[in-house]
Structures are given as structure tokens and as C-alpha cells.
Amino acid sequence: MVTNLSPGELAESAKRSYQAGDLAAAIDGFTAAAAAYASAGDVLMAAEMKNNQSVTMLRDKQPQPALDAARGTEGIFIEAGDARREGIALANQASALEALKRHKESIDFYSRAGAALEKAGEADFRLEVMQLLAALHLRRFKIFDAIIALQSGLAGIKNPTPRQRFMKKLLFFRL
């Protein structure tokens, strides 16, 4: 596809396609944006576009291509010292691995994502990741691991919602 659009314009077009539910166009757009950013030498934005592509592919029920798109992007963010985007990249890969039923790897990636998001100070997003990890543990009948994951995620929340306060009371109750 030959285009005169800038990498940013390609990314915005892909986001509009995603929001409109046109996943095929969004995937193509994020792929083009990643290539354009890479050609321009912006490896961070290229990696971010690959993660957007991954999320879109996963939503389109393409878990293996989603994993392939995001694979290794966390290393780019680690090099840049961007723990937030590192955590997001790891969580994206964990979701794809979970969809592929590669549960042990998924658990590892969710755990690594949680650690990166904690380092970045992203308590709310970390809680979401830890809830996904807990749900994965529950599906594997690892109740204790699920409780630990939820406790860990909730521990970082500074201003919990009423629901989160209730969960904290339940999970931190000593038997």
C-alpha cells in the first residue's frame, strides 16, 4: 500500500477504524503505522503500533498473529526505561498466550506485566492485570494463587472504590 500519510495520520486512521469496529482495516492501519514509524526511526512508536495491532488481532480472534505482533516489544520499552508500556506489552502477550491456552506462559507474562506496572506506578491498570491473572488461576483451580494475585493488585490502590474496599476486606480477612 503506497500512501502519502504520515505515521501519525496512519495511526489515527487505524484508531478510527478500530473504534468503528472495522477490525481488518484497523489491523492493516496499525501494521502500516508500525512500518512507517520504523522507517522514520521511531522504534518506540513502532512498538506501540505493533501492540495496538496485537490488541486488534486478538479482538478479531487471531491469537497467534496477535502474539507474533507484540512479541519482543517489551524489550524496546525496557531499553527506553518505559515501564508502563513494557507492562502493557507484556499484558498483551499474556492475553494472546491465554487465548492460545498456553496457560503457564500466560501466567508468567501477566506476572511480569504486573511487576512492570507496579514499577511504573500504574496501580489501576496493574489491578486489571492482576484480576486477569487471578481469573486464570481460578480456571486452573489454584485458589490460593488467585487470592494472592488479587491481594497484590488491590494492595497498590490508594483510593479504592466501595467494591474494591469490600474485596480488600474479604481478601485480607484472616481465617
Q: Tell me the H-state helices in 3-122.
A: 7-19, 23-39, 43-59, 63-70, 73-80, 83-99, 103-120
The pLDDT, as a whole number, for residue 2 is 46
Closest Cα to residue 68, out of 79, 81, 60, 57?
A: 57
The pLDDT, as a whole number, for residue 153 is 72
The pLDDT, as a whole number, for residue 119 is 95
The pLDDT, as a whole number, for residue 4 is 82
Helix pair 7-19, 23-39: axis angle to 10 deg = 160
DSSP 8-state class, residue 158: S
Q: What is the mean pLDDT, run by run of 10 residues, along the chain of 175 residues?
A: 80 97 97 97 97 97 98 97 97 97 95 95 88 83 74 72 69 55
| 168 alpha-carbon distance from chain centroid | 24
Total-model pTM? 0.82
Alpha-carbon torsion (68, 56, 135, 90), positive or negative? positive
Q: Which residues contact 123 (CB under 8 A, 6 or more apart)?
A: 117, 156, 157, 158
